[in-house]
A and B are shown apart, each in its own frame.
Chain A
């Protein structure tokens, strides 16, 4: 469904991503692991269209979408949950969700149904419906961002470090939700620092180091073959 080949991403003279190739089949949950600065987030943001590719290609269902605009990627069915947990702080929870459905704003009945479903899935958002999103706790904001991404009925969900900075019980909740989303047939690319949690839900995994893919395999293979601690300490 998604094919990334020989991808490079550069910030000025610094190449954060030097050579990344990965594939994502329909319904698959693939995780991208690696130390801080390995280039995981840059890879993900480049797929989302928020960063231009310096070289290489990205294909979505066979169509070339390399360096497409972020709004084009969103319309093609790619929803992104960035690492920085970008709720719109001065918009209410409701308005955040409404914007999530921007690409299908003409389908008002479908949007209303999805909104009801999201509020059922995340009861805490229902309680905070009219509040500015900036007043939510970190965990609540993370749920809002995921719910907002789901409002577009994406075919691919890009999740960047959803567990970052959250309390362990909330992290468990988030991973339960990721598993639920996967079971519903959604294709997910998950960038995570919490490797053991990520490998527990993923089908396959890639390990990145210094901008390159260093290892790939099924989640079980990677979990067995890789010294996960070394992965992070080696940088």
Chain B
């Protein structure tokens, strides 16, 4: 029983973080049909904001809020710098500009801060462990689960109950029709980037909470995870992104528990083999999402 509980906590906390990462990627993809390769750098921006404000003596929550806000601004900046100028012209151009913006941000961190890890302040509670029902688990796992629940609820409320959210869902199926109803294209796209940044910022707090430090390349792994989770779940579906995140976490955790010690370092190879099997079975991803509209 306690083993099962331990397993569930691991899956849910890892899956919660993965699901938020995937949502942040798919919200932009759903509307623009373009992968934002600078997504990982939003996580990096939030991390370095924490590092830079660490000497300020502000309470941790305030610093975290500033960091999340910076990630949102960086998200909106991605739209203005990498997407908006070339969006209507060429898909290839946007791929290149989003890579370029990603490289630019990483190199700025290398150049102006340092290639070496920088410590990020963490509240006490992140390093504490909790014991209940025969399970010993880091408190940050429970915090991650709670944060994921709150963020998913907030996200779902935003997409279902607000006019902006409904407009974004409409724009994801048929952008031109949404515009013909008066929904401004730029507002929808910028909002998607802002929400993407919000999710990246929150994920960053949880992700860095595991490591306690930030490096320029910190965004690569979350980007990869988000990408794989959305591919498994279905690139076009918000529910699919969440499902894909939890499924990926389930596979990772199961392998962690079952693989013999000397095979554990090859865990990713096992995970990716499973991903390939899933895609052979369902090339569209698990949830197909709405019928595709045209690119804008």
Which A residues are within 8 Å of any B CB, using their own CB? 48-50, 69-71, 73-75, 79-80, 82, 86, 88-91, 95, 98-100, 102-103, 105, 134, 148, 152
Pairwise interchain contact A105-B181, C-beta atoms closer than 8 A: no
Q: List 24 A-B contacts (CB under 8 A).
A: A49-B179, A69-B179, A69-B185, A70-B176, A71-B184, A71-B185, A74-B181, A79-B181, A86-B174, A88-B169, A88-B170, A88-B173, A88-B178, A88-B290, A89-B290, A90-B169, A95-B166, A95-B170, A98-B163, A99-B166, A99-B167, A99-B170, A100-B181, A105-B163
**Distance to closest chain A CB from B279 (angstroms):** 23
Query: CB-CB contacts of B158-187 with A at 8 A, as 1s and 0s?
Result: 000001001101100110111111111100
Pairwise interchain contact B177-A88, C-beta atoms closer than 8 A: yes
Which residues from A are CB-within-8-Å of B182? Answer: 71, 74-75, 102-103, 152
A50 to B170, CA, bound (A): 16
**Distance to closest chain A CB from B173 (angstroms):** 5
A134 to B183, CA, bound (A): 21
New contact pairs (9) apart from A88-B170, A89-B290, CB-CB < 8 Å? A49-B180, A69-B185, A71-B180, A71-B182, A79-B181, A88-B173, A89-B291, A99-B170, A99-B183
Pairwise interchain contact B179-A50, C-beta atoms closer than 8 A: yes
By secondary structure, the B interface counts as helix
**Distance to closest chain A CB from B176 (angstroms):** 5
Pairwise interchain contact B183-A102, C-beta atoms closer than 8 A: yes
> Which of B169, B177, B183, B185 has the most chain A CB atoms closer than 10 A to its own CB?
B177
A99 to B182, CA, bound (A): 9
Contact of A152 among B181, B185, B291 (CB under 8 A): B181
Query: CB-CB contacts of B131-170 with A at 8 A, as 1s and 0s?
Result: 0000000000000000000000000000000010011011
Pairwise interchain contact A91-B176, C-beta atoms closer than 8 A: no
Contact of A50 among B167, B173, B180 (CB under 8 A): B180
Which residues from A are CB-within-8-Å of B181? Answer: 74, 79, 99-100, 102-103, 148, 152
Given A88-B173, A89-B173: A98 and B180 interface contact (C-beta under 8 Å): no
Of all chain A residues, which has the CB nearest B187?
Answer: A71
Which residues from A are CB-within-8-Å of B169? Answer: 88, 90-91, 95
A49 to B181, CA, bound (A): 11
Of all chain B residues, which has the CB nearest A70?
Answer: B179
A134 to B177, CA, bound (A): 15
**Distance to closest chain B CB from A58 (angstroms):** 15
Instruction: How many A-B residue pairs have C-beta atoms within 8 angstroms? Tell me.
Output: 73
**Distance to closest chain B CB from A99 (angstroms):** 5
Which B residues are within 8 Å of any A CB, using their own CB? 163, 166-167, 169-170, 173-174, 176-185, 290-291
Which residues from B are CB-within-8-Å of A88? Answer: 169-170, 173-174, 177-178, 290
Which residues from B are CB-within-8-Å of A75? Answer: 182
Pairwise interchain contact A74-B180, C-beta atoms closer than 8 A: yes
Of all chain B residues, which has the CB nearest A81?
Answer: B180
> Which of A69, A73, A88, A105 has the most chain B CB atoms closer than 10 A to its own CB?
A88
**Distance to closest chain A CB from B109 (angstroms):** 37
Which residues from A are CB-within-8-Å of B179? Answer: 49-50, 69-71, 74
A73 to B185, CA, bound (A): 13
Which residues from B are CB-within-8-Å of A98? Answer: 163, 166
> Which of B163, B173, B181 has the most chain A CB atoms closer than 10 A to its own CB?
B181
Which residues from A are CB-within-8-Å of B174? Answer: 86, 88
A74 to B167, CA, bound (A): 14
Which residues from B are CB-within-8-Å of A103? Answer: 181-182
**Distance to closest chain A CB from B27 (angstroms):** 15
Pairwise interchain contact A73-B180, C-beta atoms closer than 8 A: yes
Pairwise interchain contact B173-A71, C-beta atoms closer than 8 A: no
Nearest 5 CB-CB pairs, A to B?
A: A74-B182, A103-B182, A70-B179, A86-B177, A88-B170
A152 to B177, CA, bound (A): 14
Of all chain B residues, which has the CB nearest A145?
Answer: B177
> Which of B167, B169, B170, B291 has the most chain A CB atoms closer than 10 A to its own CB?
B170
Which residues from B are CB-within-8-Å of A99? Answer: 163, 166-167, 170, 178, 181, 183
